[in-house]
Amino acid sequence: MKTVKTAVVGLGYIGPVHIQAIRATGLAEVIAVSHSTLDVAEAKAREMGIPKAYGDYRELLADPKVEAVHICTPNALHHDIAKGAMLAGKHVVCEKPLAIGMEDARELADIADRTGIVNAINFCIRYYPLLHQARDMVQSGVLGEILSVSGSYHQDWMLYDSDYNWRVEPEHAGPSRVIGDIGSHWFDCVEFVTGACVEQLCADIAIFHRTRKKPLQHVQTFQSKETYVADNECERVGVRTEDYASAVFRMDNGAHGTVSLSQCAAGRKNRMLVEVYGSKKSLCFDSERPGELWMGNRDKPNEMLLRDPSLMTMSAREISHLPGGHVEGYEDTMRQLFRAVYGHILEGKDRIRESVNYPTFADGLRAMTICNAVLRSQKQMSWISV
Ligand code: SOE
């Protein structure tokens, strides 16, 4: 069967996760990787059995055999790599956020729209099957009118001032950390599940550590939790990106909402919570228990749906790989998102104009628009229209 020849740029912690998830689709073959250090690229290529390794992504983009590119680098490189890839006729799967500035994000969305290149952004969390189930239930009207949504995205890997990562640095990550890094997932999931858009919001942002200890040696995402670095191997640097953000907001379906985002929430390792309260019924999804969808009732006992293809809607069933009772996880969400993308590429270019069922650069621009509104609201200390 024909497979798409694809490549991965950026080999930090998420690049190899992409490689595994691409392979699990059975629809694409990773023929090249690149990293800013050629030795790292060659070592990872050997370790994962990938034929080609590049030390410069531009050389990878010049490779005529590469048909698609996954961008897994720090955020500041997303724009140039995605633009270069699309102008070279290569399809793109980009990690979120799409870019570090609105102008760059708009340009990428325009190029994608103009060229018809397949473009996707890795809002993989919406691919927990029970979030597709939740969307279908909202769309079916079984919840009634959506009155309010609430939730959080909490982690604890940046709790101490000794925790560090490129995401702290605006020159690599952009002006926002928590909102752009995990808030983007939360708002994407809420708009995906409800089918509604955030219209106005009022935000509160906090930097709990005004300075952090930056290790003199590179530290990978989440790695600072496992490695002790002596004070004489660090330098103390100022911090300008937020550890915490919360917002109250209104949606275009009349619903009201609240969200709390933090990377300093002790004990929460990577927990996204989405609650949707309707006039007849409510739903709650907790990514620490992704195989469960809680349903709340007023006039009968509450219910708990356990992920089981035989009990779920068609769209949830289509992105479930294992039978009920066999736990699926985070990497499976990427496998399902990439399966939708590569399935679309293999269907042929003539179908690119049709609406697609996976998150595209337009969704990436949408998430950045909300993130930008949160930053503006904090600056103006007022409600902001998104
Ligand atoms: C770090 O906050 C991170 O890896 C995010 O960058 C991912 O998008 C999220 O899915 C898990 O946490």
Which ligand 1 atom lies nearest to the CA of residue 125? 10
In this predicted structure, what is the pLDDT of residue 241?
97
Q: Residue 377 pLDDT > 70, yes or no?
A: yes
Cβ atoms of 99 and 92 closer than 8 Å:
no
The pLDDT-based confidence of 351 (bands split at 50, 70, 90) is low
Cβ atoms of 362 and 197 closer than 8 Å:
no
| pLDDT tens per residue across span 118-163 | 999 999 999 999 999 999 999 999 999 999 999 999 999 999 999 9
Residue 7, amino acid: A
The whole-angstrom separation of Cα 153 and Cα 328 is 20
Contacts of 53-59 with CB under 8 Å at 24 or more apart are 57/9, 57/81, 57/84, 58/84, 59/34
The model carries a pTM of 0.96
The whole-angstrom separation of Cα 60 and Cα 53 is 8
Best of 182, 263, 268 for a ligand 1 pocket test (most atoms within 8 Å of beta carbon)? 182
In the numeric block, which tokens belong to residue 382? Answer: 């007022």
Which tops the pLDDT comparison, 295 or 230? 295
Least confident among 151-155, 239-243, 346-350: 346-350
Residues lining ligand 1, Cβ inside 6 A: 155, 181-182, 185, 221, 270
156 CA to centre of ligand 1 in angstroms: 12
| Torsion-angle region of 327 (φ positive above 0: left; ψ -120 to 50: alpha; else: beta) | beta
Convert 271-340 into a string of H (helix), E (strand) and C (coil): EEEEEEEECCEEEEEECCCCCEEEEEECCCCCEEEECCHHHCCHHHHHCCCCCCCCCCCHHHHHHHHHHH
